[in-house]
Amino acid sequence: MAPFPRYAIYYVSAPGTDLDRFGAQLLGYDAFSGEDLPFPDGIMQMTPDWHDLTRDPRKYGFHATLKAPLSLAHGKTEGELLAACEKFADASRPIPVITPVVESISGFIAVVSAEPSAALERLAADCVREFDSLRAPLTSGDRARRNPSALTPRQCEHLDRWGYPYVMADFRFHMTLTGRLAAERREPVMMMLRNRFSAVGLKTLAIDRIALCRQERPDSPFRIVNHWKLRIEDTSDKKRHRNYR
């Protein structure tokens, strides 16, 4: 097993926003404070096994993965990872803006992007590449736990190169709300979550923040160490530069 603590770089909504509260309350866990939360009113009456349905995503907090959980490479420190996150956030870049919807993805339910986004795929790929020098190689046990025989050849290549199979062309943005559901459970739970999400009234979502999260032990939840707003690319400066070349 990989050594602990483990770290991950996620997109998270800013603390206290409607989206942050929506996800944290449904999962029953606030990754900013590290505190358990009561579920929203009425959800246990509608779905009595909600605690079990959210067991897997609860330990990660409400997030979208940009750089999957990793152990630090030999000689690397948390301070170096924090500095790398700050540098990454301070680099000017286009900020992806998506239309968030609730859908089923690989059997679980999540907030996803209604349409593919090249800017979002580029942001995720940049995260995968730029933090990889801080990542310890996968152990044979951790690789086996990814069940390589069930992956595509390209996903196996990603696993061996980047430590995680669902990157680059296989990346799919998702903010998970449930564990994997049996087919007969999926539709009613998804409709319930869509109704709750529609009450948030979120029509667009800027993917404008990264968070560094830490997991102390295998049975610990991930908690946010720090978070940074991404620096927005100044397109007016770029336009002026092109005009004067």
Residue 236: what pLDDT? 56
Output the CA–CA distances (angstroms, integers) from residue 98 to 33, 41, 182, in the order listed: 27, 29, 28
Q: How far apart are CA 36 and CA 120, in angstroms?
A: 30
Calculate the CA 57 to chain-centre distance: 10
**pLDDT beyond 80 at 22:** yes
- Mean pLDDT of the region 14-22: 97
E strands, the chain, are 6-11, 29-30, 35-36, 64-70, 97-98, 100-105, 108-113, 174-176, 205-206, 209-215, 223-229
**Which of the two residues, 237 and 208, has the higher pLDDT score?**
208
**pLDDT beyond 80 at 203:** yes
Residue 233: what pLDDT? 83
- Mean pLDDT of the region 110-130: 97
**pLDDT beyond 70 at 128:** yes
Residue 244: what pLDDT? 46
- Mean pLDDT of the region 140-144: 91
Residue 164: what pLDDT? 96
Residue 241: what pLDDT? 45
Residue 240: what pLDDT? 44
Strands 209-215 and 6-11: what pairing? antiparallel
Residue 75: what pLDDT? 96
- Mean pLDDT of the region 6-32: 98
For residue range 61-83, list pLDDT tens digits in order: 999 999 999 999 999 999 999 99
Q: 6-244: which CATH topology?
A: Cyclic Phosphodiesterase; Chain: A, (3.90.1140)
Q: Terminal CA-to-CA distance of the chain, rounded, Å?
A: 54
Q: How confident is the model at residue 192 (pLDDT cuts 50, 70, 90)?
A: very high
